[in-house]
Amino acid sequence: MTKEVHNEAFKRIEKGYQILGKRWSGLIIYTLVDEPKRFSEVHARIPVLSKRMLNERLKELEDCGIVIRNVISDRPVRIEYSLTRMGTELAVALKPVEVWSNKWL
C-alpha cells in the first residue's frame, strides 16, 4: 500500500470515528435499528438527551448519509427517521459493541 493510499484510508477511518465519537450518535443509531421512528419516539427512548441536541445529532447523521428524514403527508403530517443502507451497515458493525457492553459494563 502506498503512502498516499494509506493516508486516504486513514482519513476515512478518522471520519468514521469522528461521527461515532459525538455523544449520543451511537445510541440514536441503535434506537433506529428496528424500524423508523418519530422524533418523539427517539426522544422517549433516550430521555436524558435534550430535544435540541437530538435535533442537532439527527441533522448531522442525516448530512452524513446515515439517517434519512421521511415526511409522511398524512393528516397530520408526520416525520419519521430511519437508517439508510449505510446506516444499517454501520449498525451491524456496532452490534459487537452492544455484545461487549452487555458482558463487561
Per-residue pLDDT of the chain (105 residues; tens, 9 = 90+): 687 877 889 999 999 999 999 999 999 999 999 999 999 999 999 999 999 999 999 999 999 999 999 999 988 999 999 999 999 999 999 999 999 999 999
Question: Distance (Å, rounded) from C-alpha 62 to C-alpha 79?
Answer: 13
Q: What ranges do the domains of the chain cover?
A: 3-104
pTM above 0.85, yes or no: yes
pLDDT of residue 85: 98
Residues in the chain: 105
CB-neighbour burial class of residue 90 (10 A; exposed 0-12, middle 13-18, buried 19+): buried
Structural class in CATH, domain 3-104: mainly alpha
